[in-house]
Amino acid sequence: MTNNESKKFWLIINGKIVTDHKIEASTFGKLLTNLQHVIDAIQEAKFKGYNKKDFILYLTEIEPGSVAASLQPSGFQTDLLSGSIVFEEMVNNLEDLIKTLIDSTEGFKTKIDDEFQLPYDKIRFLESFRGMLSKRNKFSVSIGYDIAKPSHPVSLPAHREGYIKDLISEYYEKSSVEVKGIIMRVKGDDPRSFTIKTETDDTIRCVYTPETQKDVMNLFKSPVIVRGLLNKRRKLKEMELVKDIRPFSSMTFTELGGFSFLQPLPIRVSYHDKDDQWGLENDELTLSGYGNSFGDASVSLKESLESLIIGILVFDEASLTEKSREIKKNLQKFLNLDQLNGMIDGIEIES
């Protein structure tokens, strides 16, 4: 060891999964992956002006006689103003967060809110940090920053795993949004994503997890409701941390093209893959609208409603068929026909 040797980031693992100084490759791999994600989250939130490549860890050695791995970035950038090593600042920041979590959950939440401005960054950090905590006390993880294996590393508090899980749920419930649309394209290899065409005709790329793969494939080219976090850093609209994908086949309209309904009008929603068209229908009033976008289908539905109103009101009651009288009765639940005397698309209606 020489005086010029640089410090290393140490990951030290103990517990039931460690046998004869060995550990399962899959568990070790997950710990390393989550550690890198923790560092990525801090870098993007606090050190965005620096090259992301300088925060990528490389495994340098496994300490003989223990499951202790040392890792380093490829280079060490120095802050021009303070002269400090940026990577070292990041490690100190992480250690401070861990010590605060051990001492006070309230203090930890305050630091998370101060350190990470966007909800996406908070959850991204917490999800990865939680991935380094054992849920069944099979292992314990400690970290340190020194040339040799540190004698007093900082231990990650596994007993706070439940608290971290609840905190993630709290942030997610406060910040996640729902969008409705059609799944148009699916990318099945990592990072997995699908593209949704929304009811407002926006295109949003949605990043999903392997656990939701089956839902994504089953609902391809179908109307869906997707819940997740919009990443506002992206130039294109992108939703990350997608945890809920479910079909939707109906919705209600309180108004349509200038018509305000007395009660919400139920509409069946569908998508016809062969024609690439949305479908909006109401069997009770024999209404239907179709279009290449949700907006076009809504316009078509409005025209269908106008045609119905004209057909009902231009004839007196005696001239209507039994079916038409039934539809008129249904229509009166949603519109006051006496107030519709006037002009619709240039046609005078007199009841």
Domain boundary among 197, 223, 247: 247
Domain boundary among 117, 143, 174: 174
Domain boundary among 145, 174, 203: 174
Q: Are residues 120 and 265 in the same domain?
A: no
Residue 344 lies in a domain: yes
Q: Are residues 300 and 225 in the same domain?
A: no
pLDDT truncated to tens, each residue of the chain (351 aa)? 445 678 999 999 887 777 776 777 888 899 999 999 999 999 988 888 888 888 999 988 777 656 888 998 887 777 655 556 888 999 999 999 999 999 999 999 999 999 998 888 999 999 999 999 987 767 889 999 999 999 999 999 999 999 999 999 999 999 999 999 999 999 988 788 999 999 999 999 999 888 888 999 999 999 999 999 987 666 678 998 898 899 999 999 999 988 999 999 999 999 998 888 999 999 999 999 999 999 999 999 999 999 999 888 887 788 888 999 999 999 999 998 887 765 455 555 554
At 3 the pLDDT is 52
On whether the CB atoms of residues 27 and 139 are closer than 8 A, the answer is yes
Q: Are residues 243 and 259 in the same domain?
A: no
Residue 194 lies in a domain: yes
Q: Are residues 31 and 45 in the same domain?
A: yes
Q: Are residues 32 and 124 in the same domain?
A: yes
SS (H, E, C) 296-333: HHHHHHHHHHHHHHHHHHCCCHHHCCHHHHHHHHHHCC
Q: Using only C-alpha atoms, what is the Rg of the chain?
A: 30
Residues 6+ apart with CB under 8 A from 169: none
Q: Are residues 160 and 73 in the same domain?
A: yes
Phi, psi of 326 (to 5 degrees): -65, -40
3-state SS assignment for residue 335: coil
Residue 330 lies in a domain: yes
Centre a 10 Å sphere on the Cβ of residue 268 and count the other Cβ atoms it contains: 14
At 203 the pLDDT is 92
Q: Are residues 113 and 168 in the same domain?
A: yes
> Residue ranges of the alpha helices (H) in the chain?
25-46, 86-103, 105-115, 119-130, 161-175, 213-218, 294-313, 322-331
Residue 307 lies in a domain: yes
At 226 the pLDDT is 95
Q: Are residues 81 and 42 in the same domain?
A: yes
Total count of domains within the chain: 3
Q: How far apart are CA 152 and CA 95, in angstroms?
A: 12
Q: Are residues 214 and 120 in the same domain?
A: no
Q: How far apart are CA 247 and CA 224, in angstroms?
A: 4
Q: Are residues 162 and 189 in the same domain?
A: no
Give one DSSP letter per residue of 156-192, joined into a string: P-GGGHHHHHHHHHHHHHHH-EEEEEEEEEEE-SSSP
Q: What letter does residue 85 receive in the DSSP assignment?
A: B
At 210 the pLDDT is 84
Selection from 3, 4, 7 nearest residue 89 by Cα: 7
Residue 3 lies in a domain: no
Tell me which residue range forms the domain holding 81. Answer: 8-174
Residues 6+ apart with CB under 8 A from 208: 192, 193, 194, 216, 242, 245
Q: Exposed e or buried b for every residue in 100-138, given b needs 16+ CB within 10 A?
A: bbbeebeebbebbeebbebbbbbbbbbbbbbbbbbeeee
Residue 2 lies in a domain: no
Residue 22 lies in a domain: yes
Residue 1 lies in a domain: no
Q: How far apart are CA 351 and CA 348, in angstroms?
A: 10
At 31 the pLDDT is 92
Selection from 271, 278, 270, 267 nearest residue 305 by Cα: 267
What's the distance, Cα to Cα, between the start and end of the chain in Å?
99
Q: Are residues 129 and 205 in the same domain?
A: no
Q: How far apart are CA 177 and CA 240, in angstroms?
A: 11
Centre a 10 Å sphere on the Cβ of residue 305 and count the other Cβ atoms it contains: 24
Omega of the bond leading into 191 within 30 degrees of 0 (cis): yes
